[in-house]
Amino acid sequence: MWVPDIGRASGPKYLAISAALEADIAAERLRPGDRLPPQRELAEALGVDLGTVTRGYAEARRLGLIDADGRRGSFVRDESGSPASERIAPFETGMNLPPIAMRSSLPERYAADLRAILAGPAAANRLQYQPSGGAPQDRQAGAAWLAERGIAADEDNVIVVSGAQTALHAIANSIFEPGDAICTGTFVYPGWLSIARRLNLRIIPLRTDEQGIDPAALEQACAAETIKAIYFVPTNDNPTAATMGIARRREIAAIARRYDLRIIEDDAYGRLSSHPHPPLASLAPERSWHIASLSKIVSPALRVAYLRAPSLRDAWKLAADVHETTIMAPPLNAAVATKWLQEGSLAQLISEVRAECVVRQGIVAEILPPDSYQADPEGYHLWVPLAGSSAPAEFVSALTPLGLSVVASEAFVADKAETAAGVRISIGGSISRDSLPRAILLLDTLLHHRGNR
């Protein structure tokens, strides 16, 4: 077993481990493909804590010295058979991305099913422009999937679009006029804010709690002026991670009926919950626009979402807007999604992402005090309120180089007068499970230990 001599090293021991790795690779005492000792065993051999070895391996991965391969462990990097494109470092987009499961079947499944579609009798149709709103078989598959959650959905009121952002754009263009008032939480998904501001819609931010929008605040706003709609992410809200309970959902639905509000339900993360609450579209179907995207529960590369409207007329207005902007969802990806829905493969892919989320949230919970952040146990982002002199920009600059996607609270504020500071941190995306502890340890240091000597 490889055991470095770090006894006389100066500075942090985790850096000494990484430096010893680099030296032994350069001296060919370690060769490409060699398996490194498990982290716990090396910690025992060196007489250090597990976190030190974890940070040492993470630093070595950052330097491109080693790779991790799930339960098989860590190996000296072997680039002899890898094209240069596979060695390009991931880039930061600021998006909240699902984690890549350690045993993800997505790449193989996608490749196999794409080949099957292209080899099938309908391949020619899949390589052409699709009907407005999606091919009938894709709309039927999406409607059946939504109906599993009690939503009144069929081919006539469900369209297929290229992601949730396209869906939100179509909704805003179809049902609102400049100056219309839309209620949201205090912190809101930036994609919706950008659409609303571009169309000169008035955002009315409401107070929130651990379940999201406070129904009493919504009732008060509706009594004070004409509110056209309410927008929210009901499960694992982005960014606050709040989830509405069933009683809260019923209250919101009742208020929407009482004041004739339209409901825009951006259910980006709902399917990640192993015990989901009923969607608002099942409680108030006559006034609900429901968006179910695959981007946040499987992969953003798919660019497929299903948009359910209250009626056929509403759906066709949406389809017309989609045709004017993005024309259609990617036809081959829509075909793959339909195949997965019909065969049950999509549920397995979602389950893989969910399981990875649970493991990663467990890693976070072992390091951060529970009162220092908010998160869904089956989600992949954290909402970290900041107090005192802590500046969101400092967290962004410190944590982003470690592979975390960190976005300051100012990107989410519905009211520019809002002064509460915080950051949304994605623990998914390209950061590996093995690299996560180091990044969360730094987050913990920034939050709680900067004054320690």
Q: How far is CA 293 from CA 82, 189, 300, 337, 385, in A?
A: 33, 15, 9, 11, 28
User: In this model, does residue 201 exceed pLDDT 80?
Assistant: yes
Residue 144 has pLDDT above 60, yes or no: yes
- In this predicted structure, the answer to whether residue 103 has a pLDDT above a threshold of 80 is no
pLDDT at 305: 98
For the record, the structure tokens of 106 come out as 């997505």
Q: Helix, strand or coil for residue 306?
A: strand
pLDDT at 90: 55
Q: Within 13 Å of residue 13, how many CA atoms lie on the same side as its CB?
A: 16
d(Cα 332, Cα 430) in Å, to the nearest integer?
25
Domains within the chain, CATH numbers bracketed = 13-87 (1.10.10.10), 106-346 (3.40.640.10), 351-449 (3.90.1150.10)
The mean per-residue pLDDT over the stretch 89-117 comes to 85
| CA–CA dist 450, 388 (Å, integer) | 13
Residue 82 has pLDDT above 50, yes or no: no
The confidence score (pLDDT) of residue 95 equals: 86
Calculate what percentage of the chain has a pLDDT beyond 90. 71
Model confidence pLDDT, tens digit, residues 154-170: 999 999 999 999 999 99
Interatomic CA distance for residues 265 and 292, integer angstroms: 9
Residue 417 and residue 130: Cα distance in Å, rounded? 45
Per-residue pLDDT tens digits for 286-339: 999 999 999 999 999 999 999 999 999 999 999 999 999 999 999 999 999 999
Q: Which residue from 170, 144, 440 is spatially nearest to 321, judged by alpha carbons?
A: 170
Q: What gap in Å lies between CA 135 and CA 125, rounded to an integer?
A: 10
pLDDT digits (tens, 9 = 90+) for 399-427: 888 888 999 999 999 987 666 889 999 99
Peptide bond into 239 cis (omega under 30): yes
Which helix (DSSP H) or strand (DSSP E) does residue 202 occupy? strand 202-205
State the pLDDT confidence band at 29, using cuts at 50, 70 and 90.
confident
Name the residue with higher pLDDT: 187 or 85: 187
CA–CA distance, 249 with 239 (Å, rounded to integer): 19
**228-268 tens-digit pLDDT:** 999 999 999 999 999 999 999 999 999 999 999 999 999 99
pLDDT of residue 24: 86
176, 160 contact by CB (below 8 A): no
| pLDDT in the model for residue 88 | 46
pLDDT at 310: 98
- Assess whether pLDDT exceeds 90 at residue 60: no
Q: Is a pLDDT exceeding 70 seen at residue 83?
A: no
Position with higher pLDDT, 128 vs 83? 128
Task: Report which of residues 80 and 434 the model is more confident about.
Answer: 434
User: Does 390 have pLDDT greater than 80?
Assistant: no
* Residue 345 pLDDT exceeds 70: yes
Tell me which H or E stretch contains 360.
helix 345-367
Average pLDDT, the chain: 91
pLDDT at 452: 43
CA-to-CA dists, residue 361 to 1, 101, 357, 365, angstroms: 31, 13, 6, 6
386, 401 contact by CB (below 8 A): no
